[in-house]
């Protein structure tokens, strides 16, 4: 087992702010990530323009925070660095609107590499194409920055037209606070493929299917929906929090010996080394060969028929009704922070 990182972790001392201090940055979008990037950059002394649709509800909010707001085409034309923080699905259309404003030596920057890696956006060869991606929701990017801390992040260089793309990415990462925690260099391909695989096989797909199947197994066996919800969904957060704070062994050390023994000996009954791994390998293959990307692109081009049907089925699952009633019992539900959506 490796005792050290397999890649370099860059910190504040590795970043040179001169690579960004005389630049103008256009942050396109003012959602979860957009507001955090724009405000942190502004507080770091960087000249920032927020790019939004004229009818965007976020326009007055950004202005109230003391930021200059323009339409995306105007913002991009004035900027040296254009950070694309609108949703993946609308990025190609936004790019078409700003493309004429990109000049040789400018930087087109992303926080996720989907549209570059799968060829939905094809920038000119005379601009840098980079990625600076905090590994955290935007509200934490902002909150930790305000505390003098930061969240870990990724940088990647897809196209280095100027020869300064990496240095500028590190300077940007420093300006939003990521180098305070540590920044790892990756590639657009690695970021996209690991991100999509993780979402589908584990974080969003695998975990939700596991919780629903556990719930259904208990209810079908005659146990109350409320008990099934608590055991198979509600307590998931408690376990994940323990793992997040101190790894798998931290979790095992915190639960009872009975839970540890049962989990270690029975977990592979459900997530086995044959069928579950075959399924994960299939998910990864469809990410790597572009099948998932083509399917998702086509889905959006045809007004998302499958997406809408599947989402309706998810919303109609019994676990949502039971969970909605039970969550009303918790005081934290009323105090939960509202997280802005991407805009």
pLDDT, one tens digit per residue, over 24-54 is 999 999 999 999 999 999 999 999 999 999 9
Integer-rounded Cα Rg, in Å, for the chain is 22
Is-contact 313 212, C-beta < 8 A? no
CA angle centred on 272, ends 256 and 246, rounded to 5°: 40
Report how far residue 73's alpha carbon sits from residue 313's, in angstroms, rounded to the nearest whole number: 39
Is-contact 170 179, C-beta < 8 A? yes
**Residue 30 assigned as binding residue:** yes
What the block records as the tokens of 281 is 């390998």
pLDDT for position 135: 95
**CATH class in words for 13-186:** alpha beta
**Residue 174 assigned as binding residue:** no
Report how far residue 10's alpha carbon sits from residue 142's, in angstroms, rounded to the nearest whole number: 20
pLDDT for position 1: 36
Side-chain-side CA neighbours of 22 within 13 Å: the count stands at 2
In the chain the first and final C-alpha atoms are separated, in Å, by: 43
pLDDT for position 303: 96
Is-contact 53 75, C-beta < 8 A? no
Catalytic residue list: 112
Q: Tell me whether strands 153-159 and 128-134 are parallel, antiparallel or unpaired.
A: antiparallel
Using pLDDT thresholds of 50, 70 and 90, give the confidence band for residue 2.
very low
pLDDT for position 16: 98
**Residue 138 assigned as binding residue:** yes
Q: Based on the number of CB atoms within 10 Å of its own CB, is 330 exposed (0-12), middle (13-18) or buried (19 or more)?
A: exposed
**Residue 231 assigned as binding residue:** yes
Q: 182 pLDDT exceeds 70?
A: yes
Using pLDDT thresholds of 50, 70 and 90, give the confidence band for residue 341.
low
pLDDT for position 329: 86
What rounded mean pLDDT belongs to the chain? 94
What the block records as the tokens of 245 is 């704070």
Handedness of CA 138, 143, 144, 148 (dihedral sign): positive
**Residue 267 assigned as binding residue:** no
Domain parsing of the chain, residue ranges: 13-186, 204-330
pLDDT for position 84: 98
**315 φ, ψ (degrees, to nearest 5):** -65, -30
Selected residue with higher pLDDT from 130 and 8: 130
In the DSSP assignment, the letter for residue 202 is I
**Residue 235 assigned as binding residue:** yes
Q: 336 pLDDT exceeds 80?
A: no
Picking from 76-80, 81-85, 296-300, 331-335, which range would have the lowest pLDDT averaged per residue? Answer: 331-335
b/e 245-277 (16+ beta carbons within 10 angstroms → b): eeeeeebbebeeeeeeeeeeeeeeeeeeeeeee
Q: Based on the number of CB atoms within 10 Å of its own CB, is 95 exposed (0-12), middle (13-18) or buried (19 or more)?
A: buried
């Amino acid at each position: 087992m490796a005792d050290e990182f397999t890649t370099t972790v860059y910190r504040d001392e590795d970043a040179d702010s001169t690579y960004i201090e005389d630049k103008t940055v256009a942050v396109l979008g003012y959602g979860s990530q957009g507001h955090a990037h724009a405000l942190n950059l502004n507080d770091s002394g960087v000249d920032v323009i927020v790019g939004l649709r004229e009818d965007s509800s976020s326009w007055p909010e950004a202005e109230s925070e003391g930021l200059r707001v323009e339409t995306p085409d105007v913002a991009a034309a004035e900027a040296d660095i254009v950070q694309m923080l609108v949703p993946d699905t609308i990025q190609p259309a936004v790019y078409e609107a700003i493309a004429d404003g990109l000049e040789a030596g400018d930087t087109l920057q992303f926080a996720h590499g989907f549209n570059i890696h799968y060829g939905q956006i094809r920038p000119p060869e005379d601009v840098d194409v980079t990625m600076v991606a905090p590994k955290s929701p935007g509200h934490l990017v902002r909150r930790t920055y305000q505390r003098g801390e930061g969240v870990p992040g990724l940088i990647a260089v897809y196209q280095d037209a100027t020869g300064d793309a990496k240095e500028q990415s590190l300077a940007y990462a420093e300006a939003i606070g990521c180098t305070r925690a540590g920044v790892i260099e990756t590639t657009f391909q690695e970021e996209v493929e690991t991100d999509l695989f993780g979402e589908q096989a584990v974080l969003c797909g695998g975990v939700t299917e596991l919780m629903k199947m556990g719930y259904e197994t208990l209810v079908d066996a005659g146990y109350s929906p409320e008990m099934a919800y608590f055991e198979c969904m509600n307590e998931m957060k408690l376990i994940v929090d323990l793992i997040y704070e101190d790894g798998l062994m931290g979790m095992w050390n915190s639960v009872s010996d009975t839970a540890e023994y049962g989990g270690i000996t029975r977990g592979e009954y459900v997530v086995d080394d044959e069928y579950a791994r075959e399924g994960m390998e299939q998910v990864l293959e469809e990410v790597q060969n572009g099948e998932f990307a083509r399917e998702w692109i086509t889905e959006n081009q045809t007004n998302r028929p499958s997406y809408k049907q599947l989402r309706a089925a998810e919303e109609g699952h019994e676990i949502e009704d039971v969970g909605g009633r039970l969550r009303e019992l918790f005081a934290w539900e009323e105090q939960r922070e509202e997280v802005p959506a991407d805009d």
